[in-house]
Amino acid sequence: MQGSIEITSSMKEQGCKVHFHGEIASFLDEHIHENKDIEDILARKYLKDKVALFNSTRGAFSLAIEDYSQGELLLVRDKIGEIPLYYSIQSGKVYWGNRICDILRQSKDPFELNEDVIHEYLVFRYISSTNTMFKNIHEVLPGHFVKAHLNTGHVEEHAYWDIPYPPADQQFPADKVTIVDRIEGILKKSIENGLSHHLRHGVMSSGGVDSSLIIAIASGVHKEKLKTCFIGFDGYESDRSSDAEAVAQWYNTDHSTFYLNAEQYACGLPDTIRLHEEPLNHPGHVGRALFNKHNQRDIDCLLLGEGVDTMFCGSKAYPLIKIAYQNNYLRGLTKRIFENISVNYIPNKYKRHYRMIRDAFTMEPADYLIYSLAVNDPDEVEKLMVEESKLDYLEYYRSFLHEYNKRNIHLKFLRLNQHPFMVEVLNSEFKFGSEYNIQNYYPFLDVDLVSYANHIPYNLRSRGLTGKYIIKKLAERYFPRSFVYKRKEGFGVPLKKYFDDPKGMGRYYDLLRDKRTSERGIFDSNRLAELVDKTRHCTHASDELFEGLIWSIINLELWCRIYLDQHGCA
> pLDDT band for position 543 (50/70/90)?
very low
Q: What is the DSSP letter of 527?
A: H
- Rounded CA-CA distance 119/279 in Å is 13
pLDDT at 266 over 50: yes
Phi and psi (nearest 5°) for 230? -125, 135
H-helix or E-strand containing 334?
Answer: helix 331-339
Q: What is the pLDDT of residues 71-127, one digit of tens each?
A: 999 999 999 999 999 999 988 899 999 999 999 999 888 889 999 999 999 999 999
> How high does pLDDT run on average in the chain?
89
pLDDT at 35 over 70: no
pLDDT of residue 390: 82
- Rounded CA-CA distance 396/349 in Å is 32
Q: What is the pLDDT of residues 485-537, one digit of tens each?
A: 987 666 689 998 999 999 999 999 999 999 999 999 999 999 999 888 888 87
Q: Collapse the DSSP code of 157 into the 3-class scheme (helix H, G, I; strand E, B; otherwise coil) and give the result.
A: strand
- Rounded CA-CA distance 548/553 in Å is 9
Whole-model pTM? 0.92
Average pLDDT over residues 146-161: 92
- Rounded CA-CA distance 200/363 in Å is 49
- Rounded CA-CA distance 174/195 in Å is 32
Higher pLDDT, 198 or 209: 209
Q: Where are the alpha helices (DSSP H) in 175-313?
A: 176-194, 209-221, 241-250, 262-276, 285-295, 308-311
> pLDDT band for position 346 (50/70/90)?
confident
Q: Collapse the DSSP code of 94 into the 3-class scheme (helix H, G, I; strand E, B; otherwise coil) and give the result.
A: strand
pLDDT of residue 541: 43
Classify residue 417 by burial, with Cβ atoms within 10 Å: 0-12, 13-18, 19+. buried
pLDDT of residue 542: 39
pLDDT at 430 over 90: yes
pLDDT at 370 over 50: yes
pLDDT of residue 423: 86
Higher pLDDT, 91 or 412: 412
> pLDDT band for position 10 (50/70/90)?
low
What percentage of the chain reaches a pLDDT higher than 90?
61
| Contacting residues for 134 by C-beta, under 8 A, at least 6 apart | 88, 100, 111, 112, 113, 114, 563
- Rounded CA-CA distance 7/110 in Å is 19
Length of the chain: 570
Average pLDDT over residues 154-182: 85
Q: Collapse the DSSP code of 311 into the 3-class scheme (helix H, G, I; strand E, B; otherwise coil) and give the result.
A: helix
